[in-house]
Amino acid sequence: MTRIILTRHGQTLWNIEGRVQGSLDSPLTEKGILQARSLALRLKDEGINHIYTSDSLRAINTAEEIRKGIGLKKILSDPALREFSFGDWEGCIWQELRDRNPDIFKIWDSEPHLVTTPGGENMELVTDRAWNYLQQIIQIHQGQTVCLVTHGLTLKLIVTKAMGFGIHEWAKTPWQHNTALNILEVEGDQWIPLVIGDCQHLDGLE
């Protein structure tokens, strides 16, 4: 039985500003750092053997807080865990994009799996790259506990697939807030969810 712990980076400056991040980056806020430390405290007794992270700095810095908190020596980063690339939208304010592109967002709000962002990715591409990487991790670390730090949309797509839903059913899984916690056990092709999208560790920070 392999245990997979999945989480999202802490709050960033662009999260607060309502700006599209994707493959671009912005720093963790003070609150984001505290969120990561709070999650690390919660994970201290989970027996994590390895930490993998997206190579975006906001994810790396979150993973570092977890690493220090649980006493591991290193983290490993890989672009396969990056956020959905929003292409030309990155760096823009979400609401301004909505106002300028009502036709695209009408589809995005109802059937986002049908949208390929201008110069960016779509949900199928993101799911495939992240899921294939996760399968490699499971093969390498069979019987161990592995923590992966990624991003809101990428994380939601991973959890959706792990729960047995298709990409078009992504609304059936909870949104992954900053440092949301997911713990799943993997045995062969069977995924057993233990904790999904939980943020109890943040109660004292609000």
Extract the annotated binding site: 8-15, 58
The torsion of the CA quartet 48, 61, 158, 132, rounded to 10 degrees, works out to -80
The tokens describing 191, both together, are 């995924």
Is residue 95 within 8 Å of 70, Cβ to Cβ?
no
76-78 and 50-54 beta bridge pairing: parallel
Q: Please say if 83 is a catalytic residue.
A: yes
Residue 67 CB partners (closer than 8 Å, separation 6+) = 40, 51, 73, 74, 75
Collapse the DSSP code of 144 into the 3-class scheme (helix H, G, I; strand E, B; otherwise coil) and give the result. Answer: coil
Catalytic residue among 64, 65, 83, 121: 83
Whose tokens are 């057993």? That residue is 192
Binding residues for substrate: 8-15, 58
Is residue 151 within 8 Å of 9, Cβ to Cβ?
yes
Phi, psi of 63 (to 5 degrees): -60, -35
Is residue 62 within 8 Å of 36, Cβ to Cβ?
yes
Q: Please say if 17 is a catalytic residue.
A: no
Is residue 40 within 8 Å of 202, Cβ to Cβ?
no
The tokens describing 155, both together, are 């994380």
The tokens describing 126, both together, are 């993101």
Report, as residue numbers or ranges, the catalytic residues: 9, 83
